[in-house]
Amino acid sequence: MKRRHWATVAACAFSMLFAWAQFGGGPPWRHPVASSHMIQVGNATIQVDFGPGSLDLPTDAILRWVGNSASSVATYYGRFPVQRDRVLIERAAGRDILRGTTWGEVGGFPAFHRIVLGEQTTQADLDDDWEMTHEFVHTAFPSMDDDHHWIEEGLATYIEPIARVQRGSLRPEKIWADMMRDMPKGDPGSDDHGLDQTHTWGRTYWGGAQFCLLADVMIREQTHNRKGLQDALRGIVNAGGTIDQDWPIEKAFETGDRATGTHVLSQLYDSMKDAPKPVDLAGLWQRLGVVRDGDGIRFDDHAPEADIRKAITRVPGSGVMEWKNPGNSGASTGRG
Reported as a pLDDT band with limits 50, 70 and 90, residue 22 is: low
Spatial contact of 169 and 68, defined as CB atoms under 8 Å apart = yes
Measuring CA to CA, which residue among 155, 156, 152, 160 is closest to residue 247?
A: 152
Mean pLDDT of 69-91: 97
Domains of the chain, earliest start first: 9-140 (3.40.30), 179-313 (no CATH)
| Mean pLDDT confidence for 102-127 | 95
DSSP assignments along 34-100, one per residue: SEEEEEEETTEEEEEEE-SS--SS-HHHHHHHHHHHHHHHHHHHSS-SSSEEEEEEEEESSS-EEEE
* Dist CA 133 CA 163 (whole Å): 8
Minimum mean pLDDT among 20-24, 146-150, 174-178, 241-245: which range? 20-24
Mean pLDDT check: name the lowest of 18-22, 88-92, 95-99, 138-142.
18-22
**Cα–Cα distance for residue pair 210/267, rounded to 1 Å:** 15
Q: Residue 82 has what pLDDT?
A: 98
DSSP code, position 206: I
Q: At a CB cut-off of 8 Å and minimum separation 6, what does 54 contact?
A: 91, 119
Global pTM value: 0.91
Structure confidence at residue 9 (pLDDT): 33
Q: Which of 128, 137, 180 is nearest to 159 (CA)?
A: 137
- Residue 162: strand, helix, or coil: helix
User: Residue 99: pLDDT band by 50, 70, 90 thresholds?
Assistant: confident
Quick check: helix, strand or coil at residue 299?
A: strand
Q: What pLDDT score was predicted for residue 334?
A: 35
Higher pLDDT, 174 or 18: 174
Mean pLDDT score, 129-136: 96
Q: Residue 97's pLDDT band (boundaries 50, 70, 90)?
A: confident
Amino acid at 331: A
- The pLDDT value recorded for residue 328 is 55
For the CA atoms of 12, 53, 98, 321, the dihedral, rounded to the nearest 10 degrees, stands at: 100
CB 313 within 8 A of CB 172: yes
> What pLDDT does residue 13 have?
44
For residue 229, pLDDT beyond 80? yes
Query: Do 158 and 209 form a contact (C-beta atoms < 8 A)?
Result: yes
Confidence at 332, pLDDT banded by 50, 70, 90:
very low
Residue type, 103: W
Reply yes or no on whether the pLDDT at 128 is more than 80.
yes
Alpha-carbon gap, residue 164 to 112, rounded angstroms:
21
Instruction: Give the mean pLDDT of the chain.
Output: 91
pLDDT of residue 94: 84
pLDDT of residue 50: 97
Q: pLDDT value at position 6?
A: 37
Sheet holding 109-118, edge to edge: 97-106, 109-118, 84-92, 44-50, 35-41, 323-324
Residue range 150-162: average pLDDT? 98
Is the pLDDT at 210 greater than 70? The verdict is yes
Confidence label for 24 from pLDDT (cuts 50, 70 and 90): low
- Overall size of the chain counted in residues: 336
As a whole number of angstroms, the distance between CA 239 and CA 256 comes to 9
